[in-house]
Amino acid sequence: MITRFAAALIALAIVAVSCGAPADSAPADSQVVAELADYKITVNVPSVKAGKVKIGVRNVGTMEHSFQVLKTDLPPDKLPVDGASAKAKEDGKVGEIASIPAGKSAAVNLDLTPGKYVFICNVAGHYQLGMHTGFTVDAP
Ligand SMILES: [Cu+2]
């Protein structure tokens, strides 16, 4: 009885430690930092000047996410979705990070032209659950 209780306590402690571990930080030279949570994307700045841009992406969620950069005038929550794959259509894609494991960070270097963009996670179903945000690239 005591042994079983102790084992349960140890198991709880392990879960607490793994949940409390902070996500990797994004590369320090990123001009833009996006955070992927379970089911939303937040960005540290709403816009950036056109040109070469390094976007650091932190997955602070509990599961794998992806990061797609689409150049589009559509509102972030109005991209067409393919019913069969449960993924948003990636028209206008200018770059991506195909997979970022939970708790990890990655970066993508892009040469961005002025206009409106949408950042999404396109793991099946995640776009529809809210993993999208708008972003603007201003004329240099
Ligand atoms: Cu996702």
Q: How far is the CA of 65 from the centre of ligand 1 (A)?
A: 4
At position 77, the amino acid (one-letter code) is D
pLDDT given for residue 5 in this prediction: 52
Radius of gyration of the chain from its Cα atoms, rounded to whole angstroms? 18
Write the DSSP string, 9-74. Answer: HHHHHHHHHHHHPPPPPPPTT-SEEEEEETTEEEES-SEEESEEEEEEEEE-SSS-EEEEEEE-SS
Residue carrying the six token digits 């306590």: 9
What is the phi/psi pair of residue 98, to 5°? -65, -30
pTM: 0.84
- pLDDT single digits (tens) 15-61: 444 444 567 888 888 999 999 999 999 999 999 999 999 999 999 99
Q: What's the CA-to-centroid distance between 79 and ligand 1, angstroms?
A: 16
Q: Is the dihedral of CA 61, 29, 52, 32 positive or negative?
A: positive
Distance 140 CA to ligand 1 centre (A): 31
As a whole number of angstroms, the distance between CA 38 and CA 63 comes to: 7
Closest CA to 30 of 126, 109, 139, 132: 109
CA of 64 to the centre of ligand 1 (A): 6
Residue with the two structure tokens 């032209």? 113
List pLDDT tens digits, range 55-105. 999 999 999 999 999 999 999 999 999 999 999 999 999 999 999 999 999
Cα(113) to centroid(ligand 1), Å:
26
In terms of DSSP bridges, do strands 51-59 and 105-112 run parallel, antiparallel, or are they unpaired?
A: antiparallel
Measured in angstroms, how far is the CA atom of residue 123 from the centroid of ligand 1?
Answer: 5
Ligand 1 centre distance from Cα of residue 128 (Å):
10
**124 Cα–ligand 1 center, Å:** 8
Joined together, the tokens standing for residue 139 give 């004329």
Question: What's the CA-to-centroid distance between 68 and ligand 1, angstroms?
Answer: 10
Domain 24-138 maps to which CATH number in 3.20.20.70, 1.10.10.10, 3.10.580.10, 2.60.40.420? 2.60.40.420
Name the β-bridge partners of 126.
none
Ligand 1 center from residue 8 Cα (angstroms): 31
